[in-house]
Amino acid sequence: MSIRKQATLAGMVFFGAVGDIALSRGMKEVGELSLANWTQAFSAIFTPWVAAGVLLLLACFASYLTALSFADLTYVLPATSVGYILMALLARFFLHEQISPYRWAGIALIALGVGFVTRGPAKTHDARGSTHAPFPGGVA
């Protein structure tokens, strides 16, 4: 896999984890929201940490779209779960969250599973040699 493709996957992981951390920090500052008061939820978007989180998650989504253009969903989505490790570390050290041993074990199992997925090809081929099979009904 090329350096550009690896950077796209790394960007997706980084922007997703950091975006979630920024969003969490911002929402902790905003406080509890109620659906009955939707204007408060709307104004929360414009607080600095929430806005930064939204922008970072948009960058994550752009990286995700790019990654799907060169790799299968069954490769890209598990590869993004490496971000759980980064997000847990950031939550521990920047948000001062306590993470139980059970959660760390779950994160380790996810990372182990990602290791299995990334050992295979990023893009599969069907019997005709094309890089993807059409949807049922022949629509590609």
Confirm whether 82 is domain-assigned.
yes
Residue closest to 56 by CA, chosen among 96, 25, 101: 25
Confirm whether 57 is domain-assigned.
yes
Measure the CA–CA gap between 93 and 83, rounded to whole angstroms. Answer: 15
Confirm whether 59 is domain-assigned.
yes
Confirm whether 131 is domain-assigned.
no
Confirm whether 140 is domain-assigned.
no
Domain of 110 in residue numbering reads as: 3-34+43-118
Q: Give, for all 140 residues of the chain, the pLDDT tens digit.
A: 789 888 999 999 999 999 999 999 999 998 888 777 778 888 888 999 999 999 999 999 999 999 999 888 888 888 888 888 899 999 999 999 999 999 999 988 888 887 777 676 677 765 445 555 455 554 44
Question: What is the tally of structural domains in the chain?
Answer: 1
Which residues have C-beta within 8 Å of that of residue 126, sequence separation ≥ 6? 132, 133
